[in-house]
Structure 1
């Protein structure tokens, strides 16, 4: 999509040439500064009870006298925050969806001086509006025709700020779209091999260097924990390493590690059948890493980034790992596998150890790791785990800036007690209580040489029910975080 900013003089909005005009208002009355034809049309809609200055209200006005755009949508934001703007803009785009609109001009009123966050909020709403999954659904309706979005600014300073926001937003939208597309694909259309091929395709198109390790190479390295999860599947595992170089080769990179369970049956500890289809989303962490690398390649920040994906299926079978089996991880630590459905941590622990070879500045792993995190935080915030206060603060700030929020959870040593084993250095699960925390504590045992954080996105990577589908989170958070690491 083409995102643009246009500085307009007072009264020029009505004369702006676009297929549709979207007005987003904040406040409990008509804000000052609207063109007279628009203000008059909105006041008339209010008088007819077709619109009100209340959160969630929406009006569609056609052929407004004195307005060049043939369609006008008016949406009201709950307040002047970027979050409220995104929700209101999404409603406005929804009103225009299916109308053959290719170019939308947007005016914001009541939001104060416009900043980059406003552009990002509008772009994110537009990206959501036009995305349509089609890979295995050829009967899907045509995708929305929206191709161009112009955000109107009142001053050159606003225009400059909005342009900066759009630059970030355009890359993030591309990354989110790619992450959603990969995660939405059924397991038979997104095996580890297919996922690796898609990562190769993205890397080649965006000038990234990529390595894909096959099973033989993974065995040679000694990733016994990763291979234990993979051994029950006929589909071979893949270990994907993507490199973006924006600084000197000697500069320590930011490393992102994604869980890539392309389908999770639970293995021998088989999951219930209900909603098991949604376990195609268990590679949401991997999808977000690939999407973030796509965004970073477009933005070209002056630092180095490595994106790692450990990809496999988790299947039952005659060769599958069993509860009680003990495996040796790449770190040399042994693990008693008490539950084969706690497999994400088993592939991530080897991936985290692998990152040590890059002497990274910071490592963040991203995983749809635990149902316990969904119970703790619901579907609004991802779980953030880190013993590093400064790193946790940076990730929290990045999530807020991207409207992709997370919430910090504890990693107190007391929680580590539940991982004790009589037969190995550790067990792969603790008790039911604090399950998301004990999962993070398991990963922490493999990060003594790293500045590390863990994001549990089990509640945020996809939606269930009528709106079932991948969200592309936390590509926005990760992109903002990587950009914040440029010194």
Structure 2
């Protein structure tokens, strides 16, 4: 098929081409693949090499932990550098590509784990271990700690499960940090819908923690890319299931910032737990907040599997994210966040209700979240369309069926200045 005329090829086409080669090689049980390392068009050699490494590694990805027998797959990829002057640039691209691909694979592994193997406490343990290896600070807030901080929202959603909720806080603080960014992730380790019980696709609801997985995977890779940015990662981890203790439609809960929320739909739980996570992040006074969440089916209806929806109270911030997503191939599409949406989220008996009328559901979920960022520059990325593919769509060879790891490469690119990461 080729890549088309030289000037029109993009970095993502290079990623996809490398992934296609590796996937085809795996089908014929080839163990070794050789890819060209030459420059293409106006792109620098290190960027081209990074794209090829990412594509090859992500195209080869398999989640086979629970399979007794697994078909052979490519175990070695060689990139050729014909010009000795390009050697260092190729090595830099390989190193950076491996960091990005490994972080994405880490996020995929977390999302692909079955829910009986990854309750909130276990997710917190994995995050803490990853933080230890990366040299990050990790604080895990248990139920008592969350009660002390007034986190009534996440505690309400987690009340129905035998598996207690956790708030995971990761901190990366480089010397001479240029700015301070908070990443917030939705970590619903399993979502039954609660009393508003889901009626289909329950086997995929382990993927409702994909935003949290992306935040954890990004945080643990920041030292490797030598990000100059101070970054706070906050993941609200919980199970949303039914029991005699579970939150009920009509309940009113109080979030960390003091606002009250009427729970009129227990299957709109993600925004409720994010209320506490965003409030916690905002209290640390970051320059900007970015949250990732598999928040709404509305975003999936609007965009299919091809792009995440992004909404923001700060156009320069959202434009920077859109620009970076063009580089990484992790598409985003901006939806409007009209103030009028908030009127539909007001409750007769509380400050807010967690679910509005049907139309504009993605924006109404986002406008609800805006109430908890305390006016700070903030972008909400609804990754419900892109976080998990229920089938191999055949659209992109580095996106297999299952978890995609969406958002990790975009966040790492956004937060790094592309230094040598070897």
In the alignment, the residues of structure 2 paired with residue 479 and residue 304 of structure 1 have an alpha-carbon distance, to the nearest angstrom, of: 13
The match for 1:10 is none
Among 301, 309, 312, the alignment partner of 1:383 is 309
How far apart, CA to CA, are the structure 1 residues paired with 2:260 and 2:30?
A: 59
Q: Which residue of 1 aligns with 2:162?
A: 234
**What's 2:21 paired with?**
92
Map residues 317-336 of structure 1 onto 2, 5 A cutoff.
317-336=243-262
- Is structure 2 residue 356 aligned with structure 1 residue 427? no
Structure 2 partner of 1:409: 335
Q: Deviations over 1:82-105 (max 9, x none)?
A: 222222222211222256655533
Secondary structure at 2:238 match in 1: strand
- Quote the residue 1:262 is aligned against: 189
Quick check: which has more Rg, 1 or 2?
A: 1
CA contact (8 A) 1:415 1:441 kept: yes
Correspondence 1:121 to 2:51: yes
Quote how far apart the aligned CAs of 1:484 are. 5.6
SS of equivalent residue, structure 1 residue 453: strand
- Aligned in 2, Cα 1:98/1:27: closer, same or farther, shift over 3 Å? closer
Unaligned runs of 5+ in 2: 393-399
**Residues of 2 paired with 1:428 and 1:437: CA distance?**
13
Equivalent position of 1:106 in the other structure: 35
Q: In the alignment, does 2:153 pair up with 1:225?
A: yes
Residue 106 (structure 2) aligns with: 178
1:253 aligns with 2:180: yes
Q: Aligned partners of 2:322, 2:417: CA distance in 1, in Å?
A: 12
Residue 396, structure 1, aligned to residue 396, structure 2: no
Match of 1:187 in 2: 115
Cα distance, 1:440–1:151 mapped onto 2, change above 3 Å: farther
Q: What is the CA distance between 1:302 and its match in structure 2? A: 2.0
SS at match of 1:187: coil
By how many angstroms is 1:119 displaced?
Answer: 2.0
State the shift of 1:127 in Å.
1.4
| 1:40-59 equivalences in 2 (<5 Å) | none
Structure 1's 408 and 165: CA in aligned 2 closer, same or farther, altered over 3 A? farther
Match of residue 367 from structure 2: 441
Which of 395, 401, 420 is residue 468 of structure 1 equivalent to?
401
Offset from partner CA, 1:401-450 (integer Å, 9 cap, x none): 11112111111101111112110001111111000000000000111342
* Alignment partners' CA distance in 2, 1:140 and 1:385: 41
Q: Provide the aligned C-alpha RMSD in A.
A: 2.3
1:207 corresponds to = 135
Deviation sequence 1:384-413 (CA, Å, 0-9, x none): 111211101110111111111211111110
Greater relative contact order (Cα < 8 A, sep 6+): 2
> May I ask how many residue pairs the two structures share in their alignment?
411
Q: TM-score, normalised by structure 2?
A: 0.91
Q: Distance in 1 between matches of 2:276 and 2:82?
A: 49
> Contact conserved, 1:209 with 1:242, CA < 8 A, in 2?
yes
Corresponding residue number in structure 2 for 1:26: 3
Q: Is the 8 A contact 2:173 2:230 kept in 1?
A: yes
Deviates more, 1:373-382 or 1:291-300: 291-300
Structure 2 Cα separation of the partners of residues 427 and 79 of structure 1: 48
Residues 1:110 and 1:175: Cα distance change in structure 2 (over 3 Å): closer
For residue 248 of structure 1, report the CA deviation from its aligned partner: 4.3
Q: 2:79 aligns with which of 150, 161, 184?
A: 150
- Of the three residues 137, 145, 168, the one matched with 2:67 is 137
Q: Unpaired runs of 5+ in structure 1?
A: 1-23, 32-77
CA distance in structure 2 between the partners assigned to 1:103 and 1:461 by the alignment: 29
Note if contact 1:252-1:358 (Cα within 8 Å) is conserved in structure 2. Answer: no
- Is contact 2:25-2:31 (8 Å) kept? no
Q: Give CA-to-partner distance per residue, 1:206-228, whole Å, 9 cap, x none.
A: 11111111111111111001111
> What secondary structure is seen at the aligned counterpart in 1 of 2:186?
strand
Secondary structure of the corresponding residue to residue 95 of structure 1: helix
3-state SS of the aligned residue for 2:81? strand
Q: What TM-score comes out, normalization by structure 1 length?
A: 0.80
CA contact (8 A) 2:251 2:263 kept: yes
> What CA deviation, in whole Å up to 9, does each residue of 1:128-151 have, x standing for no partner?
232211232233335x24234324
Corresponding residue SS for 1:297 = coil
